[in-house]
Amino acid sequence: MVKADDRTSLPGRAKGQLLDPAQGEGIGPDRDEAFPLADTVIHFWVHYMEAFGEIPTELSEYAELMKELTHA
């Protein structure tokens, strides 16, 4: 999940809906399978907004995501 804001319930609700989609709203031939999700969460942090137009210096969550994807 990207831009996850832990101050709200939206990331948790979205993850729940992606992992347990309603009938016909998932993936697969019958559109009833869960969506594959990474365990790593990219948060909606202020330093990403402050770096607009520049390269952010704090990218540890993205590094964790890359590790997860390359070891999958």
Q: What is the pTM of this model?
A: 0.70
pLDDT at residue number 2 = 84
List of the chain residues with pLDDT < 70: 72
pLDDT at residue number 16 = 95
DSSP 30: T
CB 61 within 8 A of CB 43: yes
pLDDT at residue number 19 = 96
pLDDT at residue number 30 = 93
